[in-house]
Amino acid sequence: MELSDFIGLRPVPAAGLLITLTRRCPLSCAHCSTSSTMAGEEPSDAQLLRFVSSFAAGDRPEVVLLTGGEPLLLPELARDLAESARAAGTRSVLLSGMFFARERRIPARVMRAVTAADHFSASLDAFHEREVPRAAVLHAVHQVREAGVPVSFHITGSGPQDPYLAEVTADIRREFADQVPMLVNEIRPMGRAAAWATASRPRPDGERALPCAMAAWPVVAFDGTVLACCNQQAVDRRPAPEHLRLGHIAEDDWRTVRRRSLASPVLRLLRTVGPAHLYARYAPESAGPGYCGTCRNLPQHPEVLAGAARDGAGPVGELLDREAARIQRAAGPVELLRRHGCPPYADLVALPHRDAAGSPR
């Protein structure tokens, strides 16, 4: 499974599931959106395994992303989840901060988890490089690739003008001869970065419909709560905003979570037009704190929730949701990352470039 395959599915409701195996991480990166430490919490292994085992051949996500914290602190759990998902026909993606790459040889436990996945993605940025040298990360990724697992890099920088992004993406392209794709993102002011990072983009025009693809895939949070959104501030907030809470893995199975996500009129409209447009439509005098902030604060504006619940209900709301997903998926992963990643580097998600027959070119 290549990076563009699962990024292309990102706007499709319930096509994917994100699972945070743990909040623990041995690294102390200054920009960490989850503020992870080795003392972080994590869901119950048994509950995670039960939840993933509830996937069925006719009712499952297409892909499950295993992340953290650092998921490879729990290599046996990561392997078991990937194997359980595969039994139902779901492909898995493993994302790692590469703490283990300091050694020239990948530990056997870690390699078993990595090779159980259908894709492996390594994080790389200036902050990670202070703890794990780039050369060590590249060497480890070569080993994973040689083991037959498709690989990619998840790279983060301060914005389009960050010289680090230009330098590191060029280095990776040379190292892997343009055969390894990259997802390039921008640091957000959240987690440990909240104290120093600033938002790099202007607030979207509320009059314009701007679908939220990030509300398409359910997210299993560190305490087992299942959210409809991957925004870290939404994932961490307790109590979770009711319109974003889909359940808990101790009580619910995948079928229940999927049904709630697809049937929610509010989520349908968030995925179709975005939160800023909902305010412009139902409460134009209520300016919200940015695109994601307006969504998290919806419980404070019952008139907006009521309008969305009314207009997103029934067959019409269901049709709007499907059509918004269809349009975004047809636009492709590069266009999606122009909106949600670092725009000048969006095309790197499509490496290696392929022709119409699917062959590299």
DSSP 8-state symbol, 242: G
Element (H, E) at 18: strand 16-20
No. of helices (H) and no. of strands (E), the chain: 15, 9
The CA–CA distances, whole Å, from 351 to 12, 47, 114, 336 equal 22, 36, 21, 15
pTM beyond 0.75, yes or no: yes
Question: What pLDDT, on the 0 to 100 scale, is given for residue 288?
Answer: 64
Contacts of 19 (CB under 8 A, 6+ apart): 48, 52, 64, 65, 66, 67, 81, 219, 220
Summarize the chain as % helix, strand, coil (round to 5).
45, 15, 40
Counting every residue written for the chain, the total comes to 361
Question: What pLDDT, on the 0 to 100 scale, is given for residue 37?
Answer: 77
Question: What pLDDT, on the 0 to 100 scale, is given for residue 161?
Answer: 94
Q: How far is CA 346 from the centre of its chain?
A: 16
- For 219, the 3-state DSSP assignment is strand
Give bridge partners of residue 59 from the DSSP assignment.
Answer: 56
pLDDT in tens, the chain (361 residues): 999 999 999 999 999 999 999 999 888 887 877 777 788 788 999 999 999 999 999 999 999 999 988 999 999 999 999 999 999 999 999 999 999 998 888 999 999 999 999 999 999 999 999 999 999 999 999 999 999 999 999 999 999 999 999 999 999 999 999 999 999 999 877 666 666 666 555 555 455 778 999 999 999 999 999 999 988 888 888 899 999 999 999 999 999 999 999 999 999 999 999 998 998 889 887 766 678 888 888 999 999 999 999 999 999 999 999 999 999 999 999 999 998 899 999 999 999 865 444 444 4
Give bridge partners of residue 120 from the DSSP assignment.
Answer: 94, 151
Contact 50, 220 (CB under 8 A): no
Question: What pLDDT, on the 0 to 100 scale, is given for residue 45?
Answer: 96
Cis peptide before 43 (omega within 30 of 0): no
Question: What pLDDT, on the 0 to 100 scale, is given for residue 356?
Answer: 44
Question: 3-239+332-350 maps to which CATH number?
Answer: 3.20.20
Q: How far is CA 176 from the centre of its chain?
A: 24
Give bridge partners of residue 222 from the DSSP assignment.
Answer: none
Burial label, 239 (beta-carbon count in 10 A; 0-12, 13-18, 19+): exposed
Structure tokens at 31: 């920009």
Residue spans of beta strands (DSSP E) within 126-260: 151-157, 182-186, 219-220, 225-227, 245-248
Q: Where are the domains of the chain?
A: 3-239+332-350, 263-328
d(CA 320, CA 335): 20
d(CA 106, CA 223): 29
Burial 68-86 (b: 16+ CB within 10 A, else e): bbbbbbbbebbbbbbebbb
- Among the listed residues 60, 11, 47, the one whose alpha carbon sits nearest the alpha carbon of residue 257: 60
Question: What pLDDT, on the 0 to 100 scale, is given for residue 306?
Answer: 95
The region, left, alpha or beta by phi > 0 then psi within -120 to 50, assigned to residue 132 is: beta
Rounded to 5 degrees, what are φ and ψ at 11? -80, -5
Please count the other Cβ atoms lying within 10 Å of the Cβ belonging to residue 289: 10
d(CA 140, CA 154): 15
The CA–CA distances, whole Å, from 35 to 29, 157, 195, 277 equal 9, 17, 12, 31
Contact 151, 141 (CB under 8 A): yes
Give bridge partners of residue 152 from the DSSP assignment.
Answer: 121
